[in-house]
Amino acid sequence: MITTIKTKNGTTIKVHNYNDYQTFNKEKKQQNEHHNEQQIEHQSEQIKDNKLNTTKELKELNTLKEVVSDSDNSFKNILNIYQQNIEMNPSQITMQKIGQDFDDYGHEYMKFAIEKSALLNNHNYRFIDWLLKDWRKNQLTTIEAVRQYEAHKEQKRAYSNQQTKTQSQSPYENMELIEPDEHNLPF
């Protein structure tokens, strides 16, 4: 048997049982052949066992795939919603972040955050991430609580905008502008 070992300085070739190859002793040759046959039989048995184990592992994997497919479908649903409304081809980092947030927040939170972002015409995942973190910071545990919170924020924003408009009116806004007569100008 010959083995090769790669080192920093090059490749080393090692010949096992060198003496057996140098002598022409028939007994040793027959012993080696018998030993080689036993090794081949042993290796073929191991291969058969590995095939059986591989078959079992494949069956187990198929079972696991069926179990995981339900949760995958909801993740695929979120990913489809994101691609349709926010970004068609998200980067790999964004995909990883979506997966992490999906695991952390769940299907309903992700769906609502994506929809809210799309309705506000904000096509960036950072805004969705900010929404999710804001909801967690405010300890909103149900999607209904999130909806109420967002509706309350929208009412406050609308009231604030209305107040700003009334305060920003100029005192001269309702006055009539009188144009001077061109003939009476001093120049």
Write out residues in the chain with pLDDT < 50, as ranges.
Answer: 66-70
Nearest to 36 by CA among 48, 24, 46, 28: 28
pLDDT in tens, 29-78: 666 666 667 777 776 676 666 655 666 666 665 555 544 444 556 888 99
Give the angle 123-125-130 at the CA atoms, nearest 5°.
Answer: 115
**What burial class does residue 10 get, using C-beta atoms within 10 Å of its C-beta: 0-12 exposed, 13-18 middle, 19+ buried?**
exposed
Q: Which sequence spans correspond to the domains of the chain?
A: 71-166
Locate the DSSP E strands across the chain: 2-7, 10-15
